[in-house]
Amino acid sequence: MRTAFIKALEAAATLDERIWLVCGDLGYSVLDAFASAFPQRFVNAGVAEQNMTGLAAGLAMNGKIVVTYSIANFPTVRCLEQIRNDICYHQLNVKIVAVGGGLCYGGQGYTHHGMEDLGFMRLLPNMSVFAPGDPTEARLVTEAMVKHPGPCFMRLGKAGEPCVHTAEPDFEVGRAILLRHGDSVAIIATGATLQIAVEAARRLTSEGRAAEVVSMPSIEPLDTSYVLDAARRIGRIVTLEEHGRGGLGTAVAEVLSASGSPARLAQVRLPNNPVFTGGSQDDLRKLVGLTPHAVVDAAHRLLETRPCN
């Protein structure tokens, strides 16, 4: 995903000289091409993400479109106050990019796990929040994000995520992307869990259950119209995310609660407690139950009860 992101950003910067990139002393193999092409618009702020955020805010106040880039929690949790007060309060054109969301940096331990970032960011005023599901979505979100006014946050996978889409989908801020129709359960995934959702739907189909699969790369604003439509048509929804409480599942639950919908909801997500075990992303996903099997089990639990719509 990060390769798709930087290529899209380079293309956008070629057309718009207002675009700057500020990094937190990392990503050289990924960011080298941008730094070489636009040396006057690339800044390494060092291992000082709070300063990086303040610098980005200052540039944006002078008419620039600034992208900040760092690992997992570092461009978000470490500098939450600067994002809240400097960027969101002033509705500045700063685009925060976190690479390696969820358990991507599994071997580095909990300090590098992105388990709360989507929740933190979606609570901030004026902030748009994105989590593309594959490299194709990462490119489309990047292109839209640099044009979208105001603060944005995008969470990326680390590397090696497969392309799930067989054809380029239509992407619009605040809209879900439908991958397959179904009438037994709707699986709504965000971020790099999209391929897990597709595999879970394949397994359900083999059982004679037609599962609908939707990618939700835009979490704030959320496609509330799709959520309510799925609640009405199907009555059973499973949300899937490599994130803890406060992310996609919470956002969908808020929509259903506010509407008074009787649809049943199951959330497949990370636990609320820290993951203390080290290991690869795949190993940790299995450890915490973020697998196609877990999604199928959640769907089965919903299917055991009659929908209330």
Taking only the tens place, the pLDDT of each residue in 34-50 is 999 999 999 999 999 99
pTM: 0.95
Q: Is residue 168 part of a domain?
A: no
Query: For the chain, what is the mean pLDDT?
Result: 95
Domain housing 63: 2-156
d(CA 43, CA 41): 7
Cα torsion 71, 140, 292, 257: sign? positive
Is 122:67 a contact under the CB 8 Å cutoff? no
Tell me the pLDDT tens digit for each residue of 87-139.
999 999 999 999 999 999 988 888 999 999 999 999 999 999 999 999 999 99
Return the pLDDT at 107.
Answer: 86
Is 223:172 a contact under the CB 8 Å cutoff? no
Q: Is residue 123 part of a domain?
A: yes
Q: Is residue 261 part of a domain?
A: yes
Q: Is residue 166 part of a domain?
A: no
Q: Is residue 171 part of a domain?
A: no
Instruction: State which of 121, 156, 191 marks the end of a domain.
Output: 156
C-alpha dist (Å) from residue 185 to 17, 62, 142, 252: 46, 48, 30, 15
Q: Is residue 163 part of a domain?
A: no
Of 72, 78, 68, which is closest to residue 98 (Cα–Cα)? 72
C-alpha dist (Å) from residue 227 to 133, 150, 170, 200: 18, 25, 18, 19
Concatenating the DSSP letter of every residue in 153-194 gives EEEE--S-PPP--SSPPP--TT--EEEE--SSEEEEE-GGGH
Burial of 177 (0-12, 13-18, 19+ CB in 10 A): buried
Low-confidence stretches of the chain (pLDDT < 70) are: 306-309
Which distant-in-sequence residues (6+ apart) come within 8 Å of 167 by Cβ? none
149 and 187 in a single domain? The answer is no
Of 67, 87, 53, 91, which is closest to residue 10 (Cα–Cα)? 67
Is 216:222 a contact under the CB 8 Å cutoff? yes
d(CA 71, CA 26): 8
d(CA 262, CA 306): 11
Strand order of the β-sheet with 185-189 is 177-180, 211-215, 185-189, 236-240, 264-268
Using alpha carbons only, what angle is made at residue 85 by residues 83 and 90, rounded to the nearest 5 degrees?
Answer: 95
Q: What is the CATH number of the domain that holds 272?
A: 3.40.50.920
108 and 191 in a single domain? The answer is no
Is 103:285 a contact under the CB 8 Å cutoff? yes
C-alpha dist (Å) from residue 99 to 200, 256, 289: 25, 31, 22
69 and 17 in a single domain? The answer is yes
Q: Is residue 170 part of a domain?
A: no
Return the pLDDT at 306.
Answer: 63
| Domains in the chain, number | 2
Q: Is residue 237 part of a domain?
A: yes
